[in-house]
A and B are shown apart, each in its own frame.
Chain A
Amino acid sequence: TAGITQAPTSQILAAGRSMTLRCTQDMRHNAMYWYRQDLGLGLRLIHYSNTAGTTGKGEVPDGYSVSRANTDDFPLTLASAVPSQTSVYFCASSAGGAGANVLTFGAGSRLTVL
């Protein structure tokens, strides 16, 4: 089935450890995004990439980094995890900019930082 694959599905991580959440899409979409979803806050944009080779900061980028070496992959790295990064993380993609384009989401990665 075409779409977005995220891994891992869930992870428990000790504070201070590093972690990379993987995201792969097979739709050849130009733009990709990482959101976090927290209860009562909706989805908040962490980082985005409008096209391979470029990235940008979203609303809550601190403590996270991304790379976009090719069209399909958009990993999200936590260099030194903290408990406030406990959340559900969603990767998404769109053919063009998010403003008027439909986003396709992955199933999410639930991260717990202890």
Chain B
Amino acid sequence: DQQVKQNSPSLSVQEGRISILNCDYTNSMFDYFLWYKKYPAEGPTFLISISSIKDKNEDGRFTVFLNKSAKHLSLHIVPSQPGDSAVYFCAASVLDSNYQLIWGAGTKLIIKP
């Protein structure tokens, strides 16, 4: 039973448009959420995070929205650029767990020129 779900295995978006990647979770104890980005043959790299005390966090072209009542978060990328083509992983944790991140399966984002 996956506690963190990314239901779209892939997403194709036109360059310059907005990319919206979605993530759902089932464990109401999660209080910290992160997005990582992964290029082929590389390890994941941290992109942006959000604490459960917030509903939005913004960093340049990247914004993460958290809807706790729906147990849903989304990553918005605007405008989308070719270099954004990658696999995006959503991860969640309980802050006092000390080591455990629960990961989604990832969404492959393809930015079309």
Contact = CB atoms under 8 A, between A and B. Distances in A.
Nearest to B34: A102
Interface residues of A, number: 27
B97 A40 contact: no
B15 to A, nearest CB: 27
Interface in A6-62: 31, 33, 40-45, 48, 50, 56, 58-59
B97 A42 contact: no
A32 to B, nearest CB: 10
Nearest to A44: B103
Which of the four size classes fits the interface of chain B? 20 to 34
B44 A100 contact: no
27 contacts: A33-B99, A42-B2, A42-B6, A42-B104, A42-B105, A42-B106, A43-B44, A43-B101, A43-B103, A44-B103, A45-B99, A50-B99, A56-B99, A58-B99, A90-B43, A90-B44, A92-B43, A97-B99, A98-B93, A99-B101, A100-B93, A100-B95, A103-B36, A103-B46, A105-B45, A107-B43, A108-B43
Interface of A: 4, 31, 33, 40-45, 48, 50, 56, 58-59, 90, 92, 97-100, 102-108
Interface of B: 2, 4, 6, 9, 32, 34, 36, 41-46, 49, 89, 91, 93-101, 103-106
